[in-house]
């Protein structure tokens, strides 16, 4: 009889991509394994997971809205209905183990799994654990983490340092720089900067690039500018007659491998999944952590790299003043670029997906 695993979580690409990577690894190890995803209705996992070939069921759950407190009135009822639905799903599916990767759906699904005596595994992507995962960690059998020192959040005996699962297709860049540049219509021999604010984009990064266009052109630099689908139309209209040919404006990067391969320097937010990819890619990185995340965990993620000499950090609040100058300075400092590349490459953990998948299967065997 095939083993059965429920994987819960989502909300952002930073949760969805690791979840899918773990599922793919489980399927490689056990081709007949039965997998079911549980996400939050209305969130991107409800589209992305089926596109990856897996079944998903949605819970009617949301996070706390800190900007509009009245919108939280129905939250207790949504939590109760999600717990009851999670109970029905676990029993109907006859799950052997439940995996939580973070996101709204992880809470009720893993809470109910623990209540039913089902073994649970948490995959904590960040260097600073959120409130929900800290609570769930008390009853979890195994907690897979990407950073050292996580015993301040979880029982040390449950922790396994695995790294974060990454999209393997995104980091296959060896010998593909020419191909990557050509895919964006860019030239060989010019310093190329990749600026990425994630699938939704980052206003701070967009404002910085917009303000620095003339400086990039003056320094004969090329820019791959992934601005996010939310900002793309407005930026395209603003720049309709004055976007330099050396700057490629895109809402979303369909081929991260080409973008990473083409880039000499990467400027990015500091989400855990992105950082794991950047470690594997091994390019010099400038991180601009988003301030709009729980417990400011992106800053903590970034500082974990900076402390090892593996990245530069520019705060969001100072980015409009300092980011372009930092990019231009790094672009002309070959020794610093080499040092950053060397140090970030040492942090790469390429087999996190299979390490975690094996831990899931061990819980079933027990």
Would you list which residues are annotated within the binding site for UDP-N-acetyl-alpha-D-glucosamine? 12-14, 126, 167, 199, 298
Cα 295 from chain centre = 16
User: Is 86 in contact with 104 (CB distance < 8 Å)?
Assistant: no
Query: What is each CA distance from 239 to 174, 325, 344, in whole angstroms?
Result: 34, 22, 35
User: Is 311 in contact with 286 (CB distance < 8 Å)?
Assistant: yes
Ranges assigned E (strand) in the chain: 4-8, 34-40, 56-59, 97-100, 120-124, 142-145, 159-161, 192-196, 222-226, 247-250, 265-268, 285-287, 312-313
Residues flagged as binding site: 12-14, 126, 167, 199, 298
How far is the C-alpha of 183 from the C-alpha of 181, rounded, in Å? Answer: 5
User: Is 27 in contact with 21 (CB distance < 8 Å)?
Assistant: no
Taken in order 192, 197, 199, 203, the sign of the CA dihedral is negative
- Identify which of 219, 202, 194 has the alpha carbon closest to the alpha carbon of residue 319: 202
Residue 157: in which H helix or E strand, if any?
A: none
Q: Find where tokens 């990425």 sit.
A: 196
Catalogue the long-range contacts made by 258-261 (C-beta closer than 8 Å, 24 or more residues apart).
258/176, 258/179, 258/180, 258/183, 258/184, 259/180, 259/184, 259/194, 259/196, 259/224, 259/226, 260/170, 260/171, 260/173, 260/180, 260/194, 261/173, 261/176, 261/177, 261/179, 261/180
């Amino acid at each position: 009889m095939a083993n059965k695993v429920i994987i819960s979580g989502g909300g952002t690409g930073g949760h969805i991509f690791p979840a899918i990577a773990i599922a793919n690894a489980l399927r490689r190890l056990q081709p007949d394994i039965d997998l079911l995803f549980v996400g939050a209705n209305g969130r991107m996992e409800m589209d992305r997971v089926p596109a990856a070939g897996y079944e998903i069921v949605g819970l009617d759950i949301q996070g706390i809205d800190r900007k509009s407190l009245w919108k939280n009135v129905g939250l207790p009822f949504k939590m109760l209905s999600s717990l009851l639905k999670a109970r029905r799903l676990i029993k109907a599916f006859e799950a052997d183990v439940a995996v939580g990767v973070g996101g709204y759906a992880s809470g009720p699904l893993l809470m109910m799994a623990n209540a039913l005596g089902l073994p649970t595994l948490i995959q904590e992507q960040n260097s600073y654990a959120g409130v929900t995962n800290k609570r769930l960690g008390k009853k979890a059998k195994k907690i897979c983490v990407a950073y050292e020192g996580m015993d301040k959040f979880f029982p040390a005996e449950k922790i396994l340092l695995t790294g974060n699962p990454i999209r393997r297709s995104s980091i296959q860049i060896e010998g593909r720089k020419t191909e990557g540049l050509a895919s964006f219509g860019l030239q060989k021999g010019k310093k190329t900067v990749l600026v990425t604010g994630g699938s939704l984009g980052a206003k701070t990064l967009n404002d910085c690039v917009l303000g620095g266009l003339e400086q990039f052109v003056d320094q004969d630099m090329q820019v791959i500018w992934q601005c996010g689908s939310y900002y793309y139309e407005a930026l395209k209209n603003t720049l309709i007659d004055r976007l330099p040919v050396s700057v490629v404006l895109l809402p979303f990067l369909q081929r991260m491998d080409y973008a990473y391969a083409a880039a000499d320097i990467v400027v990015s937010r500091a989400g855990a999944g992105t950082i794991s990819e950047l470690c594997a890619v091994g390019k010099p990185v400038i991180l601009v952590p988003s301030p709009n995340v729980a417990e400011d965990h992106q800053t903590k993620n970034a500082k974990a790299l900076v402390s090892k000499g593996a990245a530069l950090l520019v705060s969001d609040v100072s980015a409009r003043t300092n980011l372009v100058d930092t990019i231009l300075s790094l672009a002309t400092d070959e020794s610093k670029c080499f040092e950053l590349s060397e140090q970030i490459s040492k942090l790469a953990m390429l087999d996190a997906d299979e390490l975690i998948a094996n831990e899931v299967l061990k819980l079933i065997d027990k």
